[in-house]
Amino acid sequence: MPEYSPRREDTPPFPLPHIEQTPPSRISDHPEFHSLRRAQRRFGIRATILSVGGFLLYVLLSSFVPAVMNQPLFGRLTLGLTLGLGQFVVMGVTAWCYVRHMRTRVDPLARGLRSRLYETESRRARAAAPAQGAGQPLRHGTRGFRTW
């Protein structure tokens, strides 16, 4: 602000109205959304570490300890081949755990959050509808919007 201004810099240019606590307007501001993201992220990190760690262990063993990987188990089946086929099992188990985790933990949270936000939005719309549409009803063909 210039030096000759009668207003101080910390005063707002207009009086602030009384602000009531309103629920978050965006879904990403909602605390339940944060818990949903945490549950999803926590499992994702564990599953990634398990999958990538298992594959990395397999690659490192086959690179640095080939004698151990060539140990025959029975017939022509070696330890390396068994561990390589075990990667498919690890990926399958990880995918199964992911689906189970999403169904049991994340999806119920998401459904509950979606229904609560839908109820909040519909209440807001009902409360705003009498004030908006008091003078003029909506016409058909305007897709819910008034024309200018």
Closest CA to 79 of 70, 87, 88: 70
pLDDT above 80 (res 7): no
Q: Per-residue pLDDT tens for 101-140?
A: 999 988 888 888 888 888 888 888 888 876 555 555 545 5
**Of 10-24, 33-47, 73-87, 96-110, minimum mean pLDDT range:** 10-24
Can you tell me the mean pLDDT for 76-80? 93
What is residue 16's predicted lDDT score, i.e. its pLDDT? 52
For residue 88, pLDDT beyond 90: yes
User: What phi and psi, each to the nearest 5 degrees, are found at residue 73?
Assistant: -90, -55
| Separation between Cα atoms, residue 27 and residue 74, nearest integer Å | 57
Q: Which is more confident, 97 or 134?
A: 97
- Residue where the block lists tokens 């839908």: 118
